[in-house]
């Protein structure tokens, strides 16, 4: 009887995440926007009251409640009223901003900033010890917030407090979790531009076979994790949604196979002008094949008779994720360098404005492409499908993430412009620490390791708690404890200066 009950509950859980159709993009934008609103309040507290300049339990708790607790509420208890939640965060931000500045704490804790020399000497030369690639606060916040929301969603989806419209769609539509998967890949692509930029700065070209060997070293741990996840899911008889990636395939396999394919595609840049062009060409060709052959029908309807047909969703959608990664690399090519503008009068102010305008322009370009691909009257009228990772899905993910980067960069520029004026490595590091949330920085520093731990904790919770039978308040309590453990591990690793490379 117990075995029969367990099997029945497993089927109930699989049904709980199956045959879903998602929700509107506008709602997803508002819900995810809570992260940037929470960061806005964090920034006001830091600038006006120096609240996070010293690391103590109170400031760390407030940091956690703002940058983890607020997104958690936006996808659970406040999921139907995210604008009200945003208002509750903006109100204290306005109040604190109107208060006098905390001058007692401000003076000794301010990081050294650049001496402008009255504009007389603004050379293009980097300051002492400063590399050509800069670790920017807004990029840390973007990647950290994305990871926080992803980790929250992978467990929250198993509770009824998490709206079904936020869970992954079955075939056609958009949802919060569909956005999270693609954003994870895009974010990896952004930082994946770093070695390419280093190569170009050093004026060297790495041969294809060396790039492949290096990429395989990065891929191996991820592929091993993919195998371990598959074996553990099958061995523990864990509830799974087969149409998500297939019978054996999982997200770790997708991440693991990206590096070698990116290394191969890098050679095509000798013909194609940019990663963005390469991304669009690949996505358009994939969409053309979907529409002109029976591939779409094969992915949706084919019987699972062999290894390829059993994992057809993961294998075919990989093309779309590769396009997303390449688009992320293109964004990284202008987000990561210290100087986006190398001609004319190069000042800290002009660099900041150029970066903001570039992000705004690209956000508009990708959003326009998404609009024309999905609009039934003025465009192609295609539907978004995360299961296919088709052209509209790729364009949606890329447009959203460019817009997110723009918003975080705007907050950065308004509240912490001194970071961009630092003239030596020490000054820049101190300015970075001042402008960066400790919690989000910790999540970003060991992103893949934290994501792996989140997957393990999700499995542990699901094996010990009947999540479908848990009420709203206890569910939020469990999610809060889970996120606190994750944040605690991330902050501890950061405090011990440990970086786990996977």
* Structural domain boundaries in the chain: 22-103+132-167+424-501, 170-421
- Mean pLDDT over 44-60 rounds to 93
pLDDT at site 204: 80
pLDDT at site 116: 36
Give the C-alpha separation, 426 to 311, whole Å.
50
Q: Is 377 helix (H, G, I), strand (E, B) or coil?
A: coil
- Mean pLDDT over 417-431 rounds to 87
Q: Dihedral sign, CA of 295, 296, 302, 306?
A: positive
- Mean pLDDT over 241-246 rounds to 90
> Cα dist. 349→43, 127, 420, 433 in Å?
20, 16, 8, 20
| Contact predicate 49/84, CB 8 Å | no
Reported confidence tier of residue 277, pLDDT bands at 50, 70, 90: very high
Between 123 and 221, name the one with better pLDDT.
Answer: 221
Check pLDDT > 70 for residue 104.
no
The helices-and-strands tally (H runs, E runs) of the chain is: 22, 0
Q: Please, which residues have CB within 8 angstroms of residue 459's CB and are 6 or more apart in sequence?
A: 232, 236, 238
Reported confidence tier of residue 70, pLDDT bands at 50, 70, 90: very high
Between 184 and 124, name the one with better pLDDT.
Answer: 184
pLDDT at site 345: 56
pTM for this one? 0.93
Q: What is 116-150 written as a DSSP string?
A: -GGGT---SS--BT--SB---HHHHHHHHHHHHHH
- Mean pLDDT over 243-257 rounds to 94
Reported confidence tier of residue 258, pLDDT bands at 50, 70, 90: very high
Reported confidence tier of residue 3, pLDDT bands at 50, 70, 90: low
Least confident of 2-6, 52-56, 377-381: 2-6
Tell me the pLDDT of the chain averaged across its residues.
90
Check pLDDT > 60 for residue 125.
no
Q: Dihedral sign, CA of 460, 465, 468, 471?
A: negative
Share of the chain above pLDDT 70, in %: 92
- Mean pLDDT over 259-278 rounds to 89
Check pLDDT > 80 for residue 489.
yes
- Mean pLDDT over 446-454 rounds to 94
Between 487 and 268, name the one with better pLDDT.
Answer: 487
Reported confidence tier of residue 235, pLDDT bands at 50, 70, 90: confident
Structure tokens at 305: 């008779």
Q: Please, which residues have CB within 8 angstroms of residue 87's CB and are 6 or more apart in sequence?
A: none
- Mean pLDDT over 230-255 rounds to 89
């Amino acid at each position: 009887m117990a075995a029969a009950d367990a099997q029945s509950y497993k089927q109930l859980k699989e049904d709980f995440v199956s045959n879903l159709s998602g929700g509107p993009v506008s709602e997803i934008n508002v819900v995810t926007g809570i992260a940037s609103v929470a960061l806005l309040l964090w920034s006001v507290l830091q600038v006006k009251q120096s609240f996070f300049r010293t690391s103590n339990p109170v400031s760390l708790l407030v940091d956690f409640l703002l940058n983890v607790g607020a997104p958690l509420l936006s996808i659970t208890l406040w999921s139907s009223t995210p604008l009200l939640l945003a208002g509750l965060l903006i109100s204290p931000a306005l109040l604190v901003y109107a208060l006098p500045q905390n001058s007692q704490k401000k003076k000794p804790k301010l990081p050294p900033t650049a001496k402008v020399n009255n504009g007389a000497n603004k050379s293009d030369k980097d300051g002492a010890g400063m590399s050509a690639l800069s670790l920017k606060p807004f990029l840390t916040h973007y990647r950290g917030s994305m990871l926080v929301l992803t980790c929250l969603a992978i467990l929250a989806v198993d509770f009824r407090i998490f709206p079904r419209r936020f869970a992954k769609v079955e075939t056609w539509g958009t949802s919060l979790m569909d956005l999270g998967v693609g954003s994870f890949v895009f974010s990896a692509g952004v930082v994946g531009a770093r070695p390419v930029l280093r190569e170009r700065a050093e004026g060297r070209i790495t041969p294809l076979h060396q790039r492949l060997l290096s990429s395989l070293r990065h891929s191996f741990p991820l592929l091993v994790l993919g195998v371990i996840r598959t074996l553990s899911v099958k061995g523990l008889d864990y509830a799974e949604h087969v149409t998500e990636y297939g019978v054996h395939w999982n997200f770790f396999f997708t991440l693991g196979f990206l590096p070698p394919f990116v290394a191969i595609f890098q050679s095509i840049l000798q013909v194609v002008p940019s990663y963005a062009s390469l991304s669009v060409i690949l996505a358009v060709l994939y969409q053309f094949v979907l529409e002109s052959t029976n591939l779409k029908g094969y992915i949706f309807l084919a019987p699972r008779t062999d290894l390829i047909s059993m994992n057809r969703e993961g294998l075919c959608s990989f093309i779309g994720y590769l396009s997303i990664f390449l688009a992320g690399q293109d964004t990284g090519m202008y987000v990561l360098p210290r100087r986006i503008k190398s001609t004319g009068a190069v000042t800290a102010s002009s660099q900041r404005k150029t970066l903001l305008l570039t992000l705004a322009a690209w956000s508009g370009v990708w959003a326009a492409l998404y609009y024309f691909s999905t609009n039934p009257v003025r465009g192609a009228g295609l539907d978004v499908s995360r299961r296919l990772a088709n052209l509209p899905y790729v364009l949606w993910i890329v447009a959203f993430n460019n817009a997110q980067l723009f918003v975080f960069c705007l907050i950065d520029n308004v509240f912490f412009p001194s970071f961009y004026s630092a003239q030596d490595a020490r000054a820049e590091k101190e300015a970075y620490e001042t402008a960066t949330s400790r919690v989000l920085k910790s999540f970003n520093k060991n992103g893949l390791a934290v994501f792996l731990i989140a997957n393990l904790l999700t499995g542990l919770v699901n094996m010990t708690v009947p999540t479908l039978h848990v009420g709203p308040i206890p569910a939020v309590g469990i999610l809060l404890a889970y996120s606190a453990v994750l944040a605690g591990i991330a902050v501890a690793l950061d405090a011990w200066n440990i970086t786990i490379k996977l």
